[in-house]
A and B are shown apart, each in its own frame.
Chain A
Amino acid sequence: MKYMLLLYGNEAQMQGRPKAAADQALAAYGAYTEAMKKAGILLDGNRLKPTNSASTVRVANGNTKVLDGPYAETKEQLGGYYMIDVPDLDAALSWAARCPAASHGTVEVRPIWVM
């Protein structure tokens, strides 16, 4: 089954980290991504630019409305994602637990709706 791991974390906190800590986090993500590739389960994955670069779009009555900022103001923000293909939810959950984001933020696991 295909799952999307949605990585949430406190953006402000992450941006305020000293360089050594940021480098260490980056290395942890590098190792995690490498492990997923080795296991042959990684389909896709990316880090997202901070929410101050986000725009939201809504079309109401034929009018397109574009707003500056993310969909919702929350304590933790969506900062990246992985798409994986594993046998079942347990496998997806154990990969989610290994994700560095699970230790400093939250990882949401969502099955992909296959059409």
Chain B
Amino acid sequence: MTRDDEQARRSAEIVTRRSYGKLIAFLAARTGDVAGAEDALSDAFATALADWPRSGIPVNPEAWLMAVARRKLIDSARRARTGLQAVDQLRLVAAELEEMAAANKTIPDDRLALMFACAHPAIDAAVRAPLILQTILGFDAAAIAASFLISPAAMSQRLVRAKTKIRDAGVPFRVPDGGELRERLDAVLDAIYAAFSEGWSDPAGTETRRRDLAEEGIWLGRLLVSLLPNEPEAIGLLALMLYAEARRGARRDAQGAYVPLADQDPTRWDAQLLHEAEALLQRASVRGPTGRYQLEAAVQSAHVIRRLTGRSDWHAIERIYDTLLAMTGSPVVAINRAIAMAETRGARAGLAELDRWSGDARLADYQPYWAARAGLLARAGDIEAARHAFDIAIGLESDPAVRGFLQQRRAELAS
């Protein structure tokens, strides 16, 4: 495949995915049946992916997909394997599509309603992110399974189960309002962030699927902000993802070795993305309640200020982690707070803070805890204990680049 072919394939895929989610949402919101909507669109989607790279993307991709989908819906209604009520629904939806095509109208965007259905509290929390990736972006179970490190069969089973639950239990396709929106929105944000994080954890970007997942996470974040422009946490999440994305390349040196945040070269950060993230964070902060994602984005902001001042604003970082810890009680936040305290008050203070959490069973096999501990012990001059902590951190790490970095640090300890 030549570069141009590859380019054509990629842009056809992007356009198809964008239209696909809209069509699935449109159909599913009207029938309550996600699997049925996917079935009706699968041919159209497959044909588009095969044809468009060769023949070019149609002027109106949605209308093209809609026309194929409409035929398929009428077919399904005719075959009538499904219940009678479902047949009526399919006819109604087909008629609605017909009308819109005749009037040259674009289909309404129900993707937000679909996302809220996928992240409904009645749906298993572990399957919400995969479900959103599949229904909004059209990823198949195998691609999603690879990203979430579980077997395709198990992923496929979970997705099928969730879709059946949505249909049979009558999970609504609507954007909740008032206080309920905030509550439910968290689940949607968590799902999008989970998708992004899965992709971001492949820093070298060697696994294309994973790298794509980070991009798709950002795309979903942008979509969410465009649909809910006044929700500060949605804006905060997008800012957080952009900060992280801006530093993607700087996490490895030319030889592929791991570079921790503190040693990264700020000129290798993507200035444009950082600029956008800063503007978003600003926009979120004037719009009301400050939540987890805004705070985490604010930590990033205090780190990247190093571009201008030469040093992260550790005092600000410590304060933000204070707030986050009070809000979440999370030991992961506590570790980050201890690292910040080591910067503002010395390694011993940071260690004392870590010690307060050493009994937490969740940290026994949590690599960042041991890596933080090892680093602070080394700085405090407790070489024996540092060596031991490095050993555990190295043993818990799965990324060879990070493992190599930790081994290097351990070897550098004065004997």
Contacts and interface: CB of A to CB of B under 8 A. Distances in A.
Contacts of B172: 87-90
Contacts of A113: 168
A85 B215 CA distance: 43
A89 B169 CA distance: 6
Interface residues of B, number: 9
A90 B170 CA distance: 8
Interface in A1-48: 1, 3
Contacts of A109: 169
Contacts of B170: 1, 3, 88-89, 92, 111
A34 to B, nearest CB: 25
B94 to A, nearest CB: 23
A111 B170 CA distance: 8
Interface string B141-183: 0000000000000000000000000001111100010000000
B45 to A, nearest CB: 28
Interface in B83-131: 120-122
Q: Classify chain A: how many residues form its interface, as a range.
A: 10 to 19
A93 interface: yes
B349 to A, nearest CB: 45
A53 B400 CA distance: 64
Contacts of B120: 89
Contacts of A1: 170
Contacts of A3: 170
Interface string A68-90: 00000000000000000001111
A111 B168 contact: yes
Interface string B314-346: 000000000000000000000000000000000
A92 B172 CA distance: 11
A19 B342 CA distance: 60
Contacts of A88: 170-172
B18 to A, nearest CB: 28
Among A3, A90, A93, max chain B CB count under 10 A is at: A90
A111 B32 CA distance: 14
Contacts of A92: 170
Contacts of A89: 120, 122, 169-172
A111 B171 CA distance: 10
A93 B122 contact: yes
A109 B168 CA distance: 12
B28 to A, nearest CB: 14
Interface of A: 1, 3, 87-90, 92-93, 109, 111, 113
Given A88-B172, A90-B172, 9 more contacts: A3-B170, A89-B122, A89-B170, A89-B171, A90-B171, A109-B169, A111-B168, A111-B169, A111-B170
3 nearest CB pairs, A to B? A88-B172, A1-B170, A89-B170
